[in-house]
Amino acid sequence: FAFDLDGTLLDTAPDFYKSVNILRQKYDLDTADYDQVRTRVSQGAASLAAYALGLDKDAEEVIEFHRQELLEIYEGCCMD
Catalytic residues: 4, 6
Please tell me the distance from the alpha carbon of residue 12 to that of residue 72, in angstroms, as a whole number.
Answer: 15
18 touches 76 (CB < 8 A): no
Query: CB count, 10 Å around CB of 10?
Result: 13
